[in-house]
Chain A
Amino acid sequence: NAGVTQTPKFQVLKTGQSMTLQCAQDMNHNSMYWYRQDPGMGLRLIYYSASEGTTDKGEVPNGYNVSRLNKREFSLRLESAAPSQTSVYFCASSPQGVGTEAFFGQGTRLTVV
């Protein structure tokens, strides 16, 4: 039982490049989330998926897209990376509704140069 698994753990991109951050959970959870963490800013929600087949914008969605591929997988895509997207990205999941206990992955540290 691995919990929430994120890949890759580290990534360096050049401005304008695209990439997809992968997330998978093996806990049969309904809700999944993508957060970004920046110094002094806490955890800010980018997108979330309350259930398979649905996605919604969070606090900071600009520059990102998401796909809930199935119940297990929720990916985050940066179409044209910008230095402002340099951050640590966390995927999380919840067994029930979106405002309940969340389980986090280990994070992806992304640097855009």
Chain B
Amino acid sequence: GENVEQHPSTLSVQEGDSAVIKCTYSDSASNYFPWYKQELGKGPQLIIDIRSNVGEKKDQRIAVTLNKTAKHFSLHITETQPEDSAVYFCAASIGESSTLTFGKGTMLLVSP
């Protein structure tokens, strides 16, 4: 089955800096790649997703890039703010009949 590796496991940045979280996947048939943000004591919430027919997608300060050849995708957060501090999960799926496989998560800490 699909395997998703996520790095780094923890990331500390200063407010205003950029943060990048990277994930690799094993199954070249995967075509859907969402990113979730989980704040303390809450459930994960979808923040952005990308499909395999697109190389990059942006939504204000966050962006996701996909490299199908290398089988990796990344989350980019610019101008980080303390409220960006959370655990971020990447995931991948092969299609609507295949469940999401999650990475192990990245704890992002943004210091004022």
Question: Interface residues, chain A, CB within 8 Å of chain B?
Answer: 4, 33, 40-45, 48, 50, 58, 90, 92, 96-107
A92 to B99 Cα, complex, angstroms = 12
The residue on A at minimum CB distance from B95 is A99
* Interface SS majority for chain A: loop
Assign chain B's interface to a size class.
Answer: 20 to 34
Contact with A along B74-103 (1 / 0, CB 8 A): 000000000000000100011111111011
* Interface SS majority for chain B: loop
Interface residues of B in 31-57 (CB under 8 A from A): 32, 34, 36, 41-46, 49
Question: Interface residues, chain B, CB within 8 Å of chain A?
Answer: 6, 9, 32, 34, 36, 41-46, 49, 89, 93-100, 102-105
Contact yes or no, A104 B45, CB < 8 A: yes
Which residues of the partner chain B approach A92 to less than 8 Å between Cβ atoms? 43
A101 to B33 Cα, complex, angstroms = 9
Which residues of the partner chain B approach A107 to less than 8 Å between Cβ atoms? 41-43
Contact yes or no, A97 B95, CB < 8 A: yes
Q: Please judge, given known A-B contacts A42-B89, A42-B105, whether A99 and B45 are in contact too, CB under 8 Å.
A: no
Which residues of the partner chain A approach B97 to less than 8 Å between Cβ atoms? 50, 97-99
